[in-house]
Amino acid sequence: MLGVVLGLATLIGGFAAVIAFVPRPSVSVGDPVDPKNAFSSAFTVSNNNLPLEHVAVGVIPRQVDMSTHNRVSADVDAVLTVPSWQAHNLGIDEKLTFSLTELFGREEGGIKFPEGAQLETAEIIVTVDYDPWFIPWSRRKKFRFRTHRQSNNQLYWYSVPLQ
């Protein structure tokens, strides 16, 4: 009986050790640089424990509503990206920061909005594709964000669970 209990304890401890080393990139968002433009927020991809290779960031615009009553939405597989978000290697505790103004707005190559249009609400999914250095296949992790209007009448991004 003691052998069985010790064997189970060893298996559980070994499983916990393996789980501790599973790659877990995360994405966080800061306040917008321009309070009137929620797209100016800095999103940061953090690598927490093992080196990640071929890191690529993309955005799935689930819903983008503008004051002109135009709605931009995409199919769940339509991942939008820009070249500067591709082909990064992140060592342990390294970060990659990007802004949605590179994709949404009036910059060259971005998605253009009608002149004078203001963002009303938005929901996006940030995708992080990566290759853990010891696993021979690519992985994708998704993070969902939604805007919320605060008491100062400005929009801020909040992380929400995937549904």
Q: How far apart are CA 129 and CA 131, in angstroms?
A: 7
pTM check: above 0.95 = no
Would you write out the chain's pLDDT as a tens digit for each of its 163 residues? 777 776 776 766 655 555 456 678 999 999 999 888 898 999 999 998 888 999 999 999 888 888 776 666 554 568 889 999 999 999 989 999 999 988 876 555 556 676 777 888 899 999 999 998 777 788 999 999 999 999 999 999 999 998 7
Query: Is it true that domain 25-160 has CATH number 2.60.40?
Result: yes
How many Å apart are CA 97 and CA 84, to the nearest integer?
10
